Chains A and B, each alone.
Chain A
Amino acid sequence: MYKLLLSWRYLKTRFIALASIVSVTLGVATLIVVNSVMAGFVDQMKNRLHGILSDVEISTQMFSEIPHPERHVEIIKQTLGDQIQEATCVVRTPALLSFDVRGRQWTQQIMLLGIDDETFGKVTDFEPYLTNEIKRNSFSFDLEEDGYDQEKFKGDAGWKYRRTRIEIQRRIEANSREYDSLYDNAANAFYAAEPSHVETASHENTNVQEEQGTRFAPLPATLPDIPPTGNPVEEGIASQSPQPLTGDQSAENQASNDGSIHRISPFDPHAKFRPEIKSEDLFDPMKDHRTGIILGLAISERKVELPSGELQDAYLIRPGDDANIMLTTIGESPKPVIENCTVVDFYSSNMHEYDSSFAFLPLSELQQLRGMIDPMTGQGSVSTIQIKLKEGADLDAVRDQLIAQFPPNYFPDYDIRTWQDTQRPLLSAVKMELTILNILLFLIIAVAGFGILATFYMIVVEKTKDIGILKALGAPSRGVMSIFLGYGMSLGTVGTGVGIVIGLLFVKYINEIADAVAVLTGQEVFDPTIYYFSEIPTVVNPVTIFWVAIGAIAIAVLASVLPALRAARLHPVEALRYE
């Protein structure tokens, strides 16, 4: 009883000891914050890595192929039994993506994935990362009318954007033709007024003049307005649509006016064998789009920091725009192929590595392009089979089962691994980092332990007389020792408890604190352009907190052992003699 009472009284009256425990508090708080933030990062990273990588995959080199994927999937399903949830076939290939940015060409390398739109979303977390909300719910490679992120694209995405853009392009083309004819007419007038020039002109010029005189139509009274940019175009087009465009009209437009095209030349001997082409069979960019492609958001999105400190998004390409992909076929003599595609959506997993390089095409389309379809059977080959396992299945065991099924001596070109194998270097680096940080931070608490030791030693010296009194009154050495051990433990507990509270509060309000620090120092603590996280992710692990608390209290108790032993060894008469 006296031990508790005295420990408690010493705790209440010896503030210097509380000061010595502040370092324990800070150490504990730091440990908790560091662990939570690191765990948050690891958790997010793992989620994202895992999300796109699937649990286990069988892959081959990107310019090779796994033939008969259906048969493979069948065997895999037999091998794994009820551990497997779903498997999907994927073709992966490096490719070049090129498109037009304000009249300038943009070309970059991408990782092209041909995916099966039915099973791919079941194996990986693909659909939740799409920016279009309609696609998130029911996936397809079609351009959508609606559902694009209003905040990002401000309405300039999807079908409406595509129609507007094509309309503007056509108007610009029409107008440029008008300008051409304007100059031609002016030239005609000039030559008509001054025939002397004609005589000096060459023979060809005379011919041209003659032709021009008959060929060019007269100028219309007014030029159609070229709307500036953006949405107002929509109304402009609607009001002016009845006005016919002058000059040559494009084949598509002619087709839409007449209903059909008769490309019958009198000189074409095969003309009568040609089938009649219906206008609805023709490609109309207003109604149709090319093969749908989904791009990683970071391919298009550029985050630019304005002088005001705000982040502005700029887009190189938007859903509804067309782009070319260039890739090679597989086989003995790879040949380049170019395909025109239409961007239908973006993929945003917030893993910069993926978002800046991945592009998704329909599996069959990519197989076709790369020549992966067997002309005899019509079956396509793939480069990767991704497998999702049921909850609780042992990844490594499944991998070993598959390796046994596809033994390396028969399938030396197959690479069978779990997502953790794939990302092992990264995951182990992070783990190592966390371990070292924990060791260093525990050293801080150990330093605090020496502070406690010194302070306690002084307190024991100061309390020599009291120890003598207690012993004179019959208190055993063990009891006196436990006063100081209890004192150390209660100080450790208080320090640790306060540290845990501070640490948890810090973790809870870490984003607010980061903002406040940014305001105070003018230095962005957590730059979203670097991390692609909008805020700092944290995960509080109760087990970690438990061990941190145990460790810190143990250090405080250990630090009080030496002073407590000294107190226990004091001789009562010697102790009482001090006065």
Chain B
Amino acid sequence: MSDVAPSNPLRIDRESKGGNMPATELHSAKSSSSKFNSAPLRIADTSVMSVSGLFKSYGKGAVQVPVLKGVDLEIEEGGFTAIIGQSGSGKSTLLHLLGTLDAPDSGEIYFRDQRIDNLAPRQQEHLRNREFGLIFQFYHLLPELTTLENVLIPRMVQDGFFRYLKNKRSYRKRAIELLEMVGLGHRLTHKPSQLSGGEMQRTAIARSLISDPSILLADEPTGNLDSENGAEVMETLTALRKHENLTVVMVTHDDQLASQADRIIHLVNGVVAT
């Protein structure tokens, strides 16, 4: 199952991406950062994301349940950050806010020095599609689609009909490559219902990487897996992170998993504990 060892020749053709890059402000920093660094780990001087004074509460009308009560933190470029906390500490909410899936009540979120929490929906969608790779506890694959199609979905969302058809070949090549990297090269045409939990999560990892994001946001990626499968998923994630030189933010309640991270942020009762 775990064919993906660091010894595998993981050839990733990053050059191909250059042509498809939209020339927006958002990407200026990305293109300048050295992604071709073969060094296993590089602690960046600059932060890729920063959060200040984040408040978020749920509920209706008078019954407001505060979840985040003023969170400040910085995510470093190329780092592996683990956000740890108990259930209900607001760590998933924080991750959703980082991923622009939800809007904070107050506070600011910056991605590459640009405020993103108050962007127009279109631009947020663009960010989610191109810059953030999202991994969920419950994998969240589309049950009607095959493994390969699930991986290709972000690309389909990104391109119009004809543009997708034009680029289909290179997308497919990259998707198969990613699936091979996560050890699912033989499972391309299987439906999610035919896969094990670990395989589904690895498919989800491949999907999160198809758009070549600059930051990976993982919400308890092993939370729904047994220890063996969870270890495999973590192994894959670590290997990919090193190889692709990704910035990873992982939310977990598992101290052992968090110990693999470069940096651990404890979230207690909606604030960062230091």
Binding site for B on A (CB under 8 A): 1-2, 4-6, 9-10, 13, 465-466, 468-477, 479, 571-573, 576, 579
Contact = CB atoms under 8 A, between A and B. Distances in A.
B140 A6 contact: no
Interface string B114-133: 00000001100111111000
B101 A473 contact: no
A470 B145 contact: no
Contact of B125 (A9, A465, A476): A476
Nearest to B159: A1
B71 interface: no
9 contacts: A1-B161, A5-B145, A6-B145, A10-B144, A468-B140, A473-B129, A474-B126, A476-B125, A576-B101
Contacts of B127: 474
B142 A573 contact: no
B99 interface: yes
Given A476-B121, A477-B121, A9 B157 contact: no
B144 A13 contact: yes
Interface in B135-154: 136, 138, 140-145, 149, 153-154
Given A474-B158, A573-B102, A1 B143 contact: no
Nearest to B160: A1
B249 to A, nearest CB: 15
Interface in B152-208: 153-154, 156-161, 164-165, 207
Contacts of B141: 469
Most buried by B among A2, A6, A9, A477: A2
A459 to B, nearest CB: 12
A376 to B, nearest CB: 89
Contacts of A471: 101, 125
B39 to A, nearest CB: 30
Given A476-B121, A576-B140, 19 more contacts: A1-B161, A1-B164, A6-B145, A9-B144, A9-B145, A466-B143, A469-B142, A472-B99, A472-B134, A472-B140, A473-B134, A474-B129, A474-B158, A476-B122, A476-B125, A479-B157, A571-B102, A573-B96, A579-B138
A328 to B, nearest CB: 82
Given A473-B129, A473-B157, A466 B142 contact: yes
Nearest to B164: A1
A2 B101 CA distance: 20
B128 A473 contact: yes
B145 A472 contact: no
B113 to A, nearest CB: 21
Contacts of A9: 144-145
Contact of A5 (B99, B102, B143, B149): B149
A8 to B, nearest CB: 9
- The prevalent SS among residues of B at the interface is helix
Contacts of B207: 473
Interface residues of B, number: 33
A2 B157 contact: yes
Contacts of A477: 121
Contact of A1 (B128, B136, B138, B156): B156
A4 B164 CA distance: 12
A2 B153 contact: yes
A469 B219 CA distance: 14
Contacts of A465: 140
A475 B160 CA distance: 12
Quick one: which of B121, B134, B142, B164 has the most chain A CB within 10 A?
Answer: B142
A469 B140 contact: yes
A565 to B, nearest CB: 16
Which one of B126, B141, B156, B158 has the highest number of Cβ atoms from chain A below 10 Å of its Cβ? B156
Given A470-B153, A472-B134, A476-B125, A6 B142 contact: yes
Interface string B94-109: 0010010110000000
B156 A5 contact: yes
Contacts of B149: 5
A482 to B, nearest CB: 11
A572 B101 contact: yes
Nearest to B133: A473
A216 B224 CA distance: 131
Of all A-B residue pairs in the complex, the 10 with the closest CB atoms, nearest first, are: A474-B129, A9-B144, A2-B156, A1-B156, A474-B128, A1-B164, A474-B125, A469-B140, A475-B157, A573-B102
Contacts of B142: 6, 466, 469-470
A2 B142 CA distance: 11
B14 to A, nearest CB: 21
A470 B157 contact: yes
Contacts of A579: 138
A5 B160 CA distance: 13
Contacts of A572: 101-102
A472 B128 contact: yes
Nearest to B155: A1
A4 B138 CA distance: 25
A10 B99 CA distance: 28
Nearest to B126: A474
Contacts of B101: 471-472, 572-573, 576
Contact of A473 (B145, B153, B159, B160): B153
Nearest to B165: A1
Nearest to B144: A9
Contacts of A1: 156, 159-161, 164-165
Contacts of B130: 474
Contacts of A468: 140
